[in-house]
Structure 1
Amino acid sequence: MSDASSKRWDLPNAPTAHTLPRDVPTAVAKVLVNRGVDTAEKLRLLLDPPQQLPYNPQRMAGMDRAVGRLHQALNQGEKVGIFGDFDVDGVTGTAILGEGLGELGISVLPYLPHRVEEGHGLSGAAIQYLVGQGVSLIITVDTGVTAVTEVAEARRLGADVIITDHHVPQPELPDAVATIDPNLPGCSYPFAGLCGAGLAFKLMQGMYQFLGQPWNPALLELAALGTIADLVPLVDENRFLVQQGLIELSQTQRPGLLALFQRSRVDPKHLDTETISFQVSPRLNSAGRMGHAEDSYRLLTTRSTSEGDMLADSLDQLNRTRREASDKALDIAFGQIEQKYSAGPLPPILFVGDPGIVPGVAGLVAGRLAETYRRPAVAMSMSMEDGKVVASGRSIPQFDIEEAFGSAQHLLVKYGGHSQAAGFTVTREQLPQVISVLSEVAERELADCDLRPALKIDAEVNLEEFSQDALHWLSQLEPFGQANPRPLFLSRGLEVLESRTMGSTSQHVKLLVSQEGKVMTALAFNQAQGWPQGASHLDLAYTINADWWHGVKSDNLKVVDVRPANG
């Protein structure tokens, strides 16, 4: 089996001439030029885009019909059902619509499906429940663009449907009053990268604009949470939503979020995308993974401090349960990979399955495998009592896993997702054939790809280049995320002044390193095993991260990979 820890370092091209402003520090200029920002004008467009954001929602296909139908519901006192997905994107989008419509006086009924009992997507049972509760208009969030049968059922029962979804539509569209999806053929909206929460925000922006009323800036808190969690590109309008949303989150008045920040040991004044991704989103997601997503919805929307505290405690406990289940499932998954492929090379797509991989953590397992082995991976929960297997897949940029699942759709009960994250349900009897089909697709499409894990270095620098001015300039490139990752630096020959392990199982390494008189702290999380012990000098690939402790900021190296110097 190939060594998953042996990463290829893809070094940047040799520095080229640029016309960036002279006050841009050298380390920052290297990053910008490597990312194609090599003139003063390109830098200005990055930091201060000329277009007015957020964009006019009326530029979105279907927005006029959706707003018109909502206005009818407002005038006629109709009850509106909101059907959202159970992940953070779906929950925050549902909350955006619930709050936005509720503040207009529209009666709303949110519905979030149970991950295990109902699964992804709009269902006939959910429609029947909503209609039975007096709902005459259903709005979907982060789902629905392929729900032809379900929307037809809603229409048969007398309910209209507005679809908001960012997934790629099929040739046949549901018979909805309006479908708001920037991926629709012919849609001329200037940015197609919005997530479900982003589209829910656009619908509320459109409704309030139609009524001539200002929308509540607190909706941006929810839009930012969903956008960060869904790993959509943090460029263009998404960059605006996250930048402004982080400002709103820093002064949020939501009791549930304040309680969750406290449990997460997060200072809202110093929130960034990584804090949301690693501290807040997992807790919000834990309800949908290990319990019911309704708890996350209630935490986001409650106005009660006591209820917020109770729900934050519940999500914190669910997150601990999720971590325990994840650790168990990861041990199983890596054990299966080691057992299957110890004698030979890894295949282009990995499959693991076990009753110990519960549906709520299967996606996390697949993601870790794809990240570790740099190839698509599918993790399957084999514990279903009805004879069905629920699978989650995660991929790499060179392989569209949702499209691959589509090649086996004739064998599947259902499937769906994105190019990099998708899932399917299949009967046990059909599973071997599905694995065969997907393996053939991966063999064909990845035949010429170098699947060794790789790190794309943005700039090779000396530590002395990180002046306070340079660190300030780097912060101007935030928010970091998909399509705008935190810059990855390489420094060679760093002298190790101090080194020790830390963590409950000594799984982390903390270092004090020096280069030409500049001393900095380096933190290597979950890298103690395999660390080059005893090396006096190291080559480090790392990002620069700000840590806050009792209101004091320190900038540290977050180690991504390490090699002995000259090794």
Structure 2
Amino acid sequence: MLPELVWKAPQELPIPVDLQNALGGPPFLARALYQRGITTPAQAQAYLYPQLYQPASPAHLPDLEKAVDRLYSAIRAGETIGVWGDFDVDGQTATTLLVSALLQAGGKVQYYIPIRESESHGIQLQALKRFLAQGIDLLLTCDTGVSAHDAVNFAQATGVPVIITDHHALPPVLPGAFAVVNPQRLPADHPLQPLCGVGTAFKLVEALYDLIGQKQASQGFIDLAALGTVADVASLIADNRWLVQMGLSQIRQNPRPSLKQLCADSNINIQRFNEEHISFFIAPLLNAIGRLADANPMVEFLNADDPQLISVRSAELRGFNEKRKLLCDQVFTAALDQIERDPSLLEGPVLILHHPAWPGGVVGIVASRLVERYNRLVILLTGEDLLRGSGRSMEGVNLIQAISAQSALLKSFGGHPMAAGLSLEKENLPAFRRAINEFVLQSAALPLPPPTLSIDAFLKIPEINLDLAAQIDRLSPFGAGNPSLQFALANVKLLSHHKLGSGGDHIEAVVEDSDQNTLRVIWWQGGNYSLPRGRFDLAFTLRASDYRGAREIQAEWTHARPLETETIEIQQPLATVEWLDFRQDAEPLQSLQSLLAANSGWVVWKEGMQSPPPSGCFRHQLKPAAGLIVWNIPTSWEAFNQAMNTVSPQKVALFANPSSPDTLENYLKTLLSLIRYRVNHQNGQATVEELSAASGQPDGMVRLALDYLSARGVVQFRQKELDRYVLALQSDFAKVELFDLQQRLRDLYNEVKAYQSTYLNLPMNLFGSIQ
């Protein structure tokens, strides 16, 4: 089930005329820049063209000049500099950048990236002791260290000064390192404040190379800064935006052999390389090895020019990434299983799940998926006695603040407002679950309002072309702080769709507007969600791509908003109809026979197979007649009114025989019997309308039940056209959407039951006023 989104229409803003004239292009471009705080032509030029942007001086970073002087002294004295990194892409690229830059500057360098499975994030003391034993004279961290008080104290006590470069949240007291270079020490509005780990490392190298008279040479590492910045989902504003713009340009013009190979493996045209290729192709590959194995070889790989080594390593990365996908799906399914068995887990604002066998390298990814699904904070933990895990938050709740408030129950923790890691003893888990839920309830404005989706412009399908995509691309790179422009189509319908990917994870759909113009749309990760029925508004992003090897428009599905249901007009004035009430009749069959014997102008409407009349027709078989006999209880007022419109009767006889089984479970058994019959006797061919009438439930219930039975692994179906299926039976069991589908089924089933109760008890004189 997709989370609720509240659409915000494009705002009318006082866009300066000179800004619009300087930009040109469609008006929504100037509006988007204005909303991002770009209000003058000069600001716009610097935003769009990186060569016109003036990046901030590295010297603005506290302790940076002190750190650079110490590194320069170490290089001149021949001291061994030990670079301590981290295993995510930010950490890998920061480590690679520092190692490469220091070696190129004439330094002696060793490096170490912790093994996630055994060490987790940070600087574990035993691993540090082994590293320092290699003759390290100066310890330089990247993307880590700002909370490593014990490790820093140990190193400095043994005579090894420590320079920390990090970007994570500052602790109440900084470690006693020689220098702590962290952009979080700057004011929130400083252009360097959003730097991530590799961005901070780049500014350090930029200053070092300026000191040794090679400032221009430092730009050779800017591709690594771009790669890590995008992968870490850093805010793409100010200097971060400039770093990524320049880095992407360098990758397109002069790519590292390793990146060139990864792009070739993913069929990416390197000359059109952009931030999306990092986010969806390159970063997952590099992250996979950091999550599941040893990321240290990535430093050599990213710097390599040996084709054989690059080929072997890139194949390893693809293998690790496939394993990562499988593990994510397994943990996600197991998490849903826990929630299905114990729905009370969803009662608080923080969902906390634990399983001793979950691989720690993927729990953060799965936590993000659960946040999207349940619109609440999520923490997933693994381990037997000492539990380790990751948490993810949503806008409006500071996760690291909520976790740090429970520090008395924790062994360690660290992170950001939106993502954090932690460890605790298993015996403290119940108390931690209670305490963090209470903290969030008291400190956050709950319940949080549903997230919003700001629409930048409503478009018409004929307006969508490569020229428009080129205009949109002027605002790239997109990401945090500079979100993709969101467009919308009004009043479209689904023309066709099919699933993409080996597991059917994605959907390619074709939508059609009221003028029969069509647009192909890709819905990434949409394979497990229900598609909208009827007419709807579609929100989407738009870019040009080389999908299928040709330059073309790529529209990507964001959200669908159903149109308000139109009121059904009753063609026959119901007040003139003669109503006959047999709903409480003890002998309904006898009364039916009497009606039919007295008058041949009746048509009998039947629903379901529970108590069929001797003769009759389903809703889609009805035709005009003088009289309508409603034999079974209808499933909704809409179905009732449609029948009245079709038949246009002068007389209506109301009976109240059951149309479907008395429980949801029995209804599903009935539907399975109908499917089995279709498979065995009609080659699996069926329409939603036929299954709906035969099972005595609304069309929406049938669609939802088919999705549910498919998720259970009981039924397979493919859609030949809208609402026409080819069905098959299977025995595998899968549980991807099970819990949500089951709950939605039960809710809809209860709605039908509530309507049928109203039908049974409504006074006859009110039937004529039903709309």
The question of whether the paired residues in 2 share the 8 Å contact of 1:27 and 1:461 is answered with no
- Which among 457, 469, 472 is matched to residue 471 of structure 1? 469
Q: Residue by residue, what CA displacement relative to the aligned partner does 1:40-67 show, whole Å, maximum 9, x if unpaired?
A: 5653453257985432212222111111
Of 113-122 and 489-498, the range deviating more from structure 2: 489-498
Residue identity in the other structure for 1:208: Y
**1:216 to 1:49, Cα distance in 2 relative to 1, 3 A:** closer
Residue of structure 2 equivalent to 1:413: 411
Q: Tell me the distance in 2 between the aligned counterparts of 1:456 and 1:338.
A: 33
Residue of structure 2 equivalent to 1:153: 154
Residue of structure 2 equivalent to 1:527: 526
Q: Residue by residue, what CA displacement relative to the aligned partner does 1:315-345 show, whole Å, maximum 9, x if unpaired?
A: 110111111100100101122233332x796
> What's the RMSD between the two structures over aligned residues?
2.5
Q: Tell me the distance in 2 between the aligned counterparts of 1:366 and 1:44.
A: 39
Q: Tell me the distance in 2 between the aligned counterparts of 1:14 and 1:73.
A: 56
**1:216 to 1:492, Cα distance in 2 relative to 1, 3 A:** same
Map 1:88-167 to 2 at 5 A. 88-167=89-168
Residue identity in the other structure for 2:425: T
The question of whether the paired residues in 1 share the 8 Å contact of 2:345 and 2:352 is answered with no
Q: Secondary structure at the match of 1:110?
A: strand
Q: Secondary structure at the match of 1:221?
A: helix
Map 1:69-468 to 2 at 5 A. 69-184=70-185, 190-213=191-214, 214-341=216-343, 346-381=347-382, 383-384=383-384, 387-468=385-466
Q: TM-score, normalised by structure 2?
A: 0.69
**1:59 to 1:529, Cα distance in 2 relative to 1, 3 A:** closer
The question of whether the paired residues in 2 share the 8 Å contact of 1:497 and 1:513 is answered with yes
Of 63-72 and 19-28, the range deviating more from structure 2: 19-28
The question of whether the paired residues in 1 share the 8 Å contact of 2:68 and 2:207 is answered with yes
Of 213-222 and 419-428, the range deviating more from structure 2: 213-222
Q: Secondary structure at the match of 1:308?
A: helix
Q: By how many angstroms is 1:274 displaced?
A: 1.5
The question of whether the paired residues in 1 share the 8 Å contact of 2:8 and 2:454 is answered with yes
Higher RCO, 1 or 2 (CA under 8 Å, sep at least 6)?
Answer: 1
Q: Tell me the distance in 1 between the aligned counterparts of 2:162 and 2:193.
A: 22
> Which 5+ residue runs of structure 2 have no aligned equivalent?
566-771
The question of whether the paired residues in 2 share the 8 Å contact of 1:287 and 1:294 is answered with no
The question of whether the paired residues in 2 share the 8 Å contact of 1:66 and 1:162 is answered with yes
**1:13 to 1:204, Cα distance in 2 relative to 1, 3 A:** same
**1:318 to 1:52, Cα distance in 2 relative to 1, 3 A:** same
Residue identity in the other structure for 1:219: F
Q: Residue by residue, what CA displacement relative to the aligned partner does 1:377-421 show, whole Å, maximum 9, x if unpaired?
A: 10111x34xx10111000012111111111111111111011111
Q: Tell me the distance in 1 between the aligned counterparts of 2:64 and 2:3.
A: 50
Q: Secondary structure at the match of 1:490?
A: strand
**1:188 to 1:460, Cα distance in 2 relative to 1, 3 A:** closer
Residue identity in the other structure for 1:151: V
Residue of structure 2 equivalent to 1:559: 557
Q: Tell me the distance in 1 between the aligned counterparts of 2:178 and 2:532.
A: 64
The question of whether the paired residues in 2 share the 8 Å contact of 1:182 and 1:192 is answered with yes
The question of whether the paired residues in 1 share the 8 Å contact of 2:122 and 2:144 is answered with yes
The question of whether the paired residues in 2 share the 8 Å contact of 1:540 and 1:563 is answered with yes
- Which among 505, 508, 511 is matched to residue 509 of structure 2? 511
Residue identity in the other structure for 2:430: P
Residue of structure 2 equivalent to 1:499: 497
The question of whether the paired residues in 1 share the 8 Å contact of 2:413 and 2:421 is answered with yes
Residue of structure 2 equivalent to 1:10: 7
Q: Secondary structure at the match of 2:560?
A: strand
The question of whether the paired residues in 1 share the 8 Å contact of 2:191 and 2:238 is answered with no
Q: By how many angstroms is 1:434 displaced?
A: 1.2
Of 294-303 and 234-243, the range deviating more from structure 2: 294-303
The question of whether the paired residues in 2 share the 8 Å contact of 1:168 and 1:184 is answered with no
**1:420 to 1:133, Cα distance in 2 relative to 1, 3 A:** same
Residue identity in the other structure for 2:227: L
Of 419-428 and 437-446, the range deviating more from structure 2: 437-446
Map 1:26-37 to 2 at 5 A. 26-29=27-30, 31-32=32-33, 35=36, 37=38
Of 523-532 and 91-100, the range deviating more from structure 2: 523-532
Q: Tell me the distance in 2 between the aligned counterparts of 1:484 and 1:470.
A: 19
Q: By how many angstroms is 1:365 displaced?
A: 1.0
Q: Tell me the distance in 2 between the aligned counterparts of 1:186 and 1:479.
A: 24
Q: By how many angstroms is 1:289 displaced?
A: 0.6
Of 472-481 and 349-358, the range deviating more from structure 2: 349-358
Q: By how many angstroms is 1:453 displaced?
A: 4.8
Q: Tell me the distance in 1 between the aligned counterparts of 2:444 and 2:189.
A: 33
Q: By how many angstroms is 1:39 displaced?
A: 5.8
Q: Tell me the distance in 1 between the aligned counterparts of 2:143 and 2:510.
A: 45
Q: By how many angstroms is 1:352 displaced?
A: 1.5
**1:223 to 1:344, Cα distance in 2 relative to 1, 3 A:** closer
Q: Tell me the distance in 2 between the aligned counterparts of 1:344 and 1:172.
A: 36
Q: By how many angstroms is 1:467 displaced?
A: 4.7
Q: Residue by residue, what CA displacement relative to the aligned partner does 1:484-518 show, whole Å, maximum 9, x if unpaired?
A: 11111221112444433343344433223344565
Q: Tell me the distance in 2 between the aligned counterparts of 1:423 and 1:451.
A: 26
Q: Tell me the distance in 1 between the aligned counterparts of 2:72 and 2:238.
A: 29
The question of whether the paired residues in 1 share the 8 Å contact of 2:461 and 2:489 is answered with yes
* Structure ranking higher in helix proportion: 2
Q: Which has the larger radius of gyration?
A: 2
Q: By how many angstroms is 1:81 displaced?
A: 0.2
Residue identity in the other structure for 2:117: V
Q: Tell me the distance in 1 between the aligned counterparts of 2:359 and 2:87.
A: 16
Q: Tell me the distance in 1 between the aligned counterparts of 2:542 and 2:347.
A: 33
**1:222 to 1:253, Cα distance in 2 relative to 1, 3 A:** same
Q: Secondary structure at the match of 2:111?
A: strand
The question of whether the paired residues in 1 share the 8 Å contact of 2:367 and 2:380 is answered with yes
Q: Tell me the distance in 1 between the aligned counterparts of 2:42 and 2:58.
A: 28
Map 1:42-57 to 2 at 5 A. 43-44=44-45, 46-48=47-49, 52-57=53-58
The question of whether the paired residues in 2 share the 8 Å contact of 1:193 and 1:238 is answered with yes
Q: TM-score, normalised by structure 1?
A: 0.92
Q: By how many angstroms is 1:436 displaced?
A: 1.3
**1:118 to 1:351, Cα distance in 2 relative to 1, 3 A:** same
Aligned pairs, number:
559
**1:351 to 1:457, Cα distance in 2 relative to 1, 3 A:** farther
Q: Secondary structure at the match of 2:282?
A: helix
Report % sequence identity. Answer: 31
Q: By how many angstroms is 1:450 displaced?
A: 2.8
Q: By how many angstroms is 1:426 displaced?
A: 0.5
Q: By how many angstroms is 1:249 displaced?
A: 1.6
Q: Tell me the distance in 2 between the aligned counterparts of 1:143 and 1:504.
A: 37
**1:549 to 1:541, Cα distance in 2 relative to 1, 3 A:** closer
**1:25 to 1:414, Cα distance in 2 relative to 1, 3 A:** same
Residue of structure 2 equivalent to 1:548: 546
**1:505 to 1:49, Cα distance in 2 relative to 1, 3 A:** closer
Residue of structure 1 equivalent to 2:721: none
Of 131-140 and 449-458, the range deviating more from structure 2: 449-458
